Amino acid sequence: MPIASPTICNWSSDPRDRVIENPSWNDIETAIRALDNADRNDLYLTPIHASPDTFIGVGGGAGRYIVHESEGGKRFPTLSNPDSTDERLEPLCVGGQLGEYPARWIVDLQRALAAAREFYEARTFDCGWRGKTFRLRFHTASAA
């Protein structure tokens, strides 16, 4: 299931969303590195032939990121650090607005890139994120 054109959001431009056709890993890595936790604070990768509510998202920026997915709008796993139990809420700009997230959900650039690359290369959610590959795990919340 190849990656469809990723959507990169810039909340201070018109049009807000930029789409890259036939993205290479370099295109996606460059877009993640450009996230600034301000105007450029989210991007989404959707597999081809998937519903619009199936995606991986990377939000935040400037060294602090949230990596999450939506599996058909029914499950919403979020990458977290299994070595951290820190539930202190930290501010992070994602989806064009400032929110507060548990500190253990905020990962560094290298972990965000590693998770996105695994997804990009596997082209599926079954890409090892939940396992020992990155010593990270997802926190799962279901739709109400």
Question: pLDDT at position 2, please?
Answer: 65
Whether 144 maps to a domain, the answer reads no
Only one residue has tokens 């301000």, namely 38
Question: 74 or 142: which carries more pLDDT confidence?
Answer: 74
State pLDDT tens for residues 60-118.
Answer: 999 999 998 888 888 888 888 777 788 899 999 998 999 999 999 999 999 999 888 88
Whether 74 maps to a domain, the answer reads yes
State pLDDT tens for residues 3-61.
Answer: 766 777 788 877 677 777 778 899 999 999 999 999 999 998 887 777 778 888 999 99
Whether 109 maps to a domain, the answer reads yes
Whether 84 maps to a domain, the answer reads yes
Question: pLDDT at position 89, please?
Answer: 94
Question: pLDDT at position 123, please?
Answer: 62
Residues spanned by the domain of 12: 7-139
User: What is the pTM assigned to this prediction?
Assistant: 0.79
Number of domains, the chain: 1
**Full 3-state SS string of 93-117:** EECCEEEEEEHHHCECHHHHHHHHH
52: left (phi over 0), alpha (psi -120 to 50) or beta: alpha
